[in-house]
DNA sequence: CGCACATCCTGTGTGC
DNA sequence: TGCACACAGGATGTGC
């Protein structure tokens, strides 16, 4: 559920399900999901706690508890699954051959929230406070926060010599942008992903800022309709490909100039762009 | 400090 | 069909 828009949509759908609920029991099916914390730590700190709210920072989903918080990261493929009861969870979870993969489940006083990631990159951690979580502390401004302004962006771009694409993926500057929406924002701003961040004029930075915000807003709208359905383990966001202009369009015509979209490699990952109209 | 790179995992798609 | 290999929406630790 990777980038900001997807996690935001999930947070909004999840909020009414968990707000005010008490965690009765923590089920750990695959302890790798809490690494490097021990599974007993999560159970010990989360059981009997009340969930005050669900929130998000960058790509992190947070369950704010009456004491401490649970931090979830979905990495590539992590997802949430909702069960009506503990018996439904135990009946369906990890039962071969066609059971639902579940790594960690929070049994609530009403319903069960499951965290699943077959690839086991995703993580669920508990922290005493926001400040106690190193990865949250390291995050820069959320890309959809009010404080993320054109001048904020320009100041940080000016301080970096990295290629634009790699700058945008650095969560310590701006939080929430990943491989898809960095490619999309750069396409909309007509900027070459390989260009050094500090080569942008104030006008270029303003164009990039506008592109980032509009790309993320547009994607969020798409992610909210239809809203995520945690009851269906197969569910995934629909229709996002319709709004993509560069990502995964290698060889297809650029929607502006008609030339082929190219796939290049940056920092070991794919970047899609139009080398003709992105300068 | 900034940066390049390997590493953590498993599923799916592609070409032979 | 079987198999090998490339690739995947991400973050972190290492060594330079």
Give pLDDT, residue A1. 62
Residue A99: predicted pLDDT? 86
- Closest alpha carbon to A26 in A1, A10, A7, A49: A49
> Span A224-249, mean pLDDT?
94
User: What are the phi and psi torsion angles at A258 (to 5°)?
Assistant: 85, -10
- Give just the sign of the alpha carbon dihedral A66, A70, A71, A72: negative
Residue A279 lies in a domain: no
The CATH number of residue A265's host domain is 1.10.8.50
DSSP characters for A130-195?
GGG-HHHHT--EETTSTT--HHHHHHHHHT--SBHHHHHH-TTTEES--HHHHHHHHHHTT--TTS
Per-residue pLDDT reduced to its tens digit, A1-41: 689 999 999 999 999 999 999 999 999 999 999 999 999 99
| Cβ atoms of residues A106 and A93 within 8 Å | no
Question: Are A114 and A147 within one domain?
Answer: no
A145 and A214 both lie in a single domain: yes
User: How do residues A111-158 score in pLDDT, each as one tens digit?
Assistant: 999 999 999 999 999 999 999 999 999 999 999 999 999 999 999 999
Residue A253 Cβ under 7 A from any strand B atom: no
A194 touches strand B (CB under 7 A): no
Host domain of residue A98: 4-137
In-domain check, residue A94 = yes
Q: 0.85 exceeded by the pTM?
A: yes
Query: What is the C-alpha to C-alpha distance for residues A149 and A176, in angstroms, rounded to an integer?
Result: 15
Å separating the CA of residue A242 from the C1' of nucleotide C3: 35
How do residues A164-203 score in pLDDT, each as one tens digit? 999 999 999 999 999 999 999 999 999 999 999 999 999 9
Backbone angles phi, psi at A262, to 5 degrees: -110, 150
| A104-108 and A112-116 beta bridge pairing | antiparallel
CA angle A155, A131, A68 (to 5 degrees): 140
Instruction: For chain A, give the mean pLDDT.
Output: 95
Contact A252, A261 (CB under 8 A): yes
A90 and A30, same domain (yes or no): yes
In angstroms, how far is B16 C1' from A45 CA?
53
- Final residue before a domain boundary, out of A137, A171, A189: A137
Query: What is the domain count for chain A?
Result: 2
A269 is near strand C: CB distance < 7 Å: yes
Separation CA A277–CA A274 (nearest Å): 6
Q: Do A133 and A159 share a domain, yes or no?
A: no
A88-120 confidence digits (pLDDT tens): 999 999 986 678 999 999 999 999 999 999 999
* The one catalytic residue among A3, A8, A71, A184: A3
């Amino acid at each position: 559920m990777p980038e900001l828009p997807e996690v935001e949509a999930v947070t909004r759908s999840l909020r009414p399900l968990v707000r005010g609920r008490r965690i009765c029991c923590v089920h750990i099916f695959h302890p790798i999901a809490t690494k490097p914390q021990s599974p007993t730590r999560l159970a010990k700190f989360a059981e009997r706690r009340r969930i005050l709210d669900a929130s998000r920072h960058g790509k992190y989903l947070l369950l704010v508890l009456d004491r401490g918080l649970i931090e979830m990261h979905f990495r590539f493929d992590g997802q949430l699954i909702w069960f009506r009861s503990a018996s439904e969870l135990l009946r369906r979870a990890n039962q071969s051959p066609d059971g639902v993969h579940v790594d960690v489940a929070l049994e609530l006083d009403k319903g069960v929230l499951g965290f699943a990631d077959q690839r086991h990159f995703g993580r669920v951690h508990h922290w005493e406070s926001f400040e106690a979580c190193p990865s949250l502390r390291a995050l820069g401004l959320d890309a959809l926060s009010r404080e993320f302004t054109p001048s904020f962006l320009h100041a940080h771009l000016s301080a970096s010599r990295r290629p634009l694409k790699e700058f945008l993926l650095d969560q310590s500057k701006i939080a929430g942008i990943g491989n898809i929406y960095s490619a999309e924002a750069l396409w909309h701003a007509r900027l070459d992903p390989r260009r050094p961040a500090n080569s942008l004029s104030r006008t270029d930075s303003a164009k990039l800022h506008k592109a980032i915000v509009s790309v993320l807003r547009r994607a969020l709208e798409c992610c909210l309709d239809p809203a995520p359905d945690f009851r269906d383990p197969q569910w995934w966001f629909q229709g996002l490909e319709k709004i993509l202009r560069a990502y995964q369009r290698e060889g297809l015509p650029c929607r502006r100039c008609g030339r082929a979209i190219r796939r290049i490699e940056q920092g070991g990952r794919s970047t899609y762009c139009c080398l003709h109209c992105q300068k």
